[in-house]
Structure 1
Amino acid sequence: MRAAEGRSQVSLCLFLGIMDYVNHTWTQEFILSGFTTTGALRPLAFLGVLCTYLLTLTGNLFIIILVHADSGLSTPMYFFISVLSFLDLWYVSTTVPTLLQTLLHGCSQISSVMCFFQLYVFHSLGMTECYLLGVMALDRYLAICCPLRYHALMSRQVQLWLAGVTWVIGFSAALVPASLTATLPFCFKKVTHYFCDLAPLMQLSCVDTSWHSHIYIVVIGIINTCNLILILGFYGAILKAVLKLPSAASRAKAFSTCSSHMTVVTLFFGSAFIVYVGPPEIRAEGRDKLIALVYTLFTPFFNPIIYTLRNKEIKEAVGRVFQRIRTKWKRS
């Protein structure tokens, strides 16, 4: 009798333990903590982020519309810039709405489905941009080092194929970190970030995630490193070719077409390496969120400015578009 009671107590304990584990594992929602802003800083931060977000959407839409509206910008370089602007529209819209919500209301809830979906889309777009920056470096390499064969090598069909491949590879590669994270058991709900990212989610897991961390560093690190090496290789060849140009004006023009792209590459890869590949002491919780603002908000914001600032072709295209608009208004 006592043995039966003992077995029933053990079974009850096991059942309660399993139920507790299941409750922890099947987390239905997470809580995004966001930034710890209080008092008057919160509405000011909300207003600043909102204005930056709206300007980012406006600037990138302006680039897309201008490139497709003016035939003078129908070159491979501006096609890839328009693709980058289209990508940045989605990239910034993946994380900034939850950032605005946490700034407005403090901690905000997000369902586990939406959290993992945000994680997947964010890293898919990030890896796509990584590959796209490599394609843009290839474009500049062919334009400067192979000018006679440039238009044949970079035909419209090749442009579309390269742009499509970057999206396919980016969304395929992101399946690895996103799926591994989604299968983890979670014992806690509070995400110490303003969006669902790898490191903050792994901190909530009930199990050791060191193996997952190594996989993430290998996947994301190899992709970033290989693309960065490829970009640096292209620009090394470009620098060698530019230095051989006879006139200073030719060298200055060649450098000007590459400086904007290199600025964007530095911003994107620099912040990404610090957050995802850098040593743990650098990737502290507060610093992570601040550095994440660089590539989630400020890089998409600065991209249209960097590519249009002091760009003579863009200014001429704007003038032609507005001239056509004025002519149509006069005729109507």
Structure 2
Amino acid sequence: VEYQELEAIDNISTVMQFVLIGFSDLPNLQGSLFTVFSVVYLIILMGNFLIIVIISMEQALQKPMYFFLANFSSLEICYVSVTVPRILFNIETQDRHISLMSCATQMCFFLIFGTTESLLLAVMSYDRYIAICHPLLYPMVMNPSKCTQLAAGSWLGGIPIQVGQTCQIFSMKFCNSYKINHFFCDIPPILKLACGDTTMHELSVYVVVMVVAAFPFILVLTSYSKIIATILRLPTAKGRAKAFSTCSSHLLVVVLFYGSATVTYLRPKSMHSPGTDKLLSLFYTIVTPMFNPLIYSLRNKEVISALRKLFFKAYY
């Protein structure tokens, strides 16, 4: 396979163009994979877009919880659009080349949206904590201004950190290979291609993951430990069931996202294998965003009721 290279001063050949191996090791399944990824992408786009439309049109859903859910659905659309169109392009054209700049851009946006998801999940758990543990204070604490600030902080908070991390990673020289054994430009497979010792870069990745993922995850766990303790003290079984149903969907999304992402980024480089990395990445890049609309809508009576009203208006 042809690729461009630039001779560095120290005579080390530095890769200027990569090849995304992706799923090319499954030549007989290319057509099936294209169909599956296309269908999944459409499901993600339509499911999340439908949630945004329902929340914006239904007066009963004009609450902080659904404001954050609409933000979350918007994020999921952005998040999958960083990776899936590229996967589809590579499978359709069988041209797997990606320039250094395109690779860095894809990684940067993927990390920014990943950080936004982590922060937004923490904000949503805080919203549920105030609603269940301090219901009388809820209207005052989660006022529209506060909600907007929390959402904006989630969207913008990861930009400086992840732009810095992307610049740091792509300031390295890549000479071990030009082949990325992955379906998008993620940190672990890129670090494998770097020349020399990458210990400091790996350490910086751990530090960033602790800040943008582990810390929010601790906040989520803290919120839910207090939520569960409060729910268990509710006098009626019906009240406990309602409170649990409100929180369980969010908790399920949290476990799916943080579980797969943490295992991917906090393992030492020596423990990474292409097959495992691809499988874990599929979970937090595609599978979780696909199930999120189903998890949030099918387990939420208010959303189902609003969906029925929307279809009723459309048909009658």
Please tell me the TM-score bracket, short chain as reference.
Answer: over 0.9
Aligned to 2:282: 293
Is this contact kept in 2: 1:221–1:277, CA < 8 A? no
Q: Describe the SS at the equivalent of 1:65.
A: helix
Tell whether 2:187 aligns with 1:207.
no
1:305-324 mapped onto 2 (5 Å cutoff): 305-324=294-313
> Relative to structure 1, is the Cα distance of residues 280 and 17 closer, same or farther in structure 2, using a 3 angstrom cutoff?
closer
How far 1:20 sits from its partner (Å)?
3.9
Contact 2:16 2:99 in 1 (8 A): yes
Contact 1:34 1:106 in 2 (8 A): no
Structure 2 partner of 1:115: 103
1:39, distance to aligned residue in structure 2 (A)? 4.2
Structure 1 residue aligned with 2:34: 46
Structure 2 counterpart SS, 1:174: helix
| TM-aligned CA distance change 1:134 to 1:203, over 3 Å | same
Question: CA-to-partner distance for each residue in 1:274-325, whole Å, 9 max, x for gaps?
Answer: 1001345653111101110001111110100000113211121112223344
Equivalent AA in structure 1 for residue 138 of structure 2: Y
Overall identity of the aligned pairs, in %: 39
* CA distance, structure 2, for counterparts of residue 17 and residue 242 of structure 1: 63
SS at match of 1:138: helix
Unaligned runs of 5+ residues in structure 2 are: 1-6
TM score, norm. by length of structure 2: 0.93
Find the counterpart in structure 2 of residue 56 from structure 1: 44
Given that 2:188 and 2:269 are in contact with CA atoms closer than 8 Å, whether structure 1 keeps it comes out as: no
**Map of 2:240 onto structure 1:** 251
Where in structure 1 do 4 or more consecutive aligned residues deviate above 6 Å? Answer: none
- The answer to whether the 8 A contact 2:120-2:151 is kept is yes
Q: Distance in 1 between matches of 2:27 and 2:224?
A: 48
Partner of 2:121: 133
Per the alignment, residue 8 of structure 1 pairs with: none
Tell whether the 8 Å contact from 2:64 to 2:127 is kept in structure 1 after alignment: yes
Q: Which residue of 2 aligns with 1:197?
A: 186
How many matched pairs? 309
Aligned to 1:260: 249
Letter in 1 for 2:212: I
Q: Is the 8 A contact 2:158 2:212 kept in 1?
A: no
Question: Is residue 151 of structure 1 aligned with residue 151 of structure 2?
Answer: no
- Deviation string 1:194-225 (CA, Å, 9 cap, x unpaired) is 11111211222222111100110111134311
Q: TM-score, normalised by structure 1?
A: 0.89
Gaps spanning 5+ residues in structure 1: where? 1-15, 328-332
| CA-based RMSD | 1.7
2:91 is the alignment partner of 1:91: no
